[in-house]
Amino acid sequence: MKTVKVYGPGCKRCETTEAMVKDAAAKLGVAVEVEKITDAKSIAMAGVISTPGISVDGKLVHAGGLPDAAKLEGWLRA
């Protein structure tokens, strides 16, 4: 079980990112728990300054803009 956190204040891109993570996980058959972090303080504490950001099992893998689908699968697979 992987824990994926999506950091973003709730803009459209952040929602798209969350959907992409879920889609990719379902496609790969990887069990994930997706958590959305929308609180500005928590986002900053995680070291994210451009949203949306993604962390997998506590490690930040992406910040700013929609993730690349192929890379996203790579993070989930690793």
Partner 1 sequence: MTVETHDPALHRGAPDWLWYVGTPAVGVVLYLLYGQLIPISEWVTALFPVARDSHTGEAIAFFVYDVPKVLLLLTGIVFVTGVLRSWFSPEKTRAILAGKREIWGYPLAALLGVLTPFCSCSSVPLFIGFVSAGIPLSVTFSFLIAGPMVGPVGLGLLYGLVGWQIATIYLVFGFTIATVAGFVLGRMGLERYLQDWVRELNAGPVGDLPEERLTLVDRLKIGAEQVREIVGKVWIWVLIGIGIGAAIHGYVPEEMMLRIMGGEAWWSVPAAVVVGVPMYTNAAGVIPIVEALLGKGAALGTTLAFMMSVIALSLPEMIILKQVLTLRLIAIFIAVVSAGILATGFLFNAIL
Q: Which of 26, 28, 40, 78 binds partner 1 (CB under 8 A)?
A: 40
Report, in Å, the least distance between residue 34 CB and partner 1: 17
CA 76 vs CA 2, 4, 9, 49, 54: distances in Å = 8, 9, 23, 22, 11
Binds partner 1 by CB under 8 A, chosen from 32, 53, 56, 76: 53
- The first and second tokens of residue 41, run together, are 């303080």
Nearer to partner 1, 14 or 32 (CB): 14
Q: How many Å apart are CA 10 and CA 39, to the nearest integer?
A: 9
Among 43, 56, 75, 76, binds partner 1 (CB under 8 A): 43
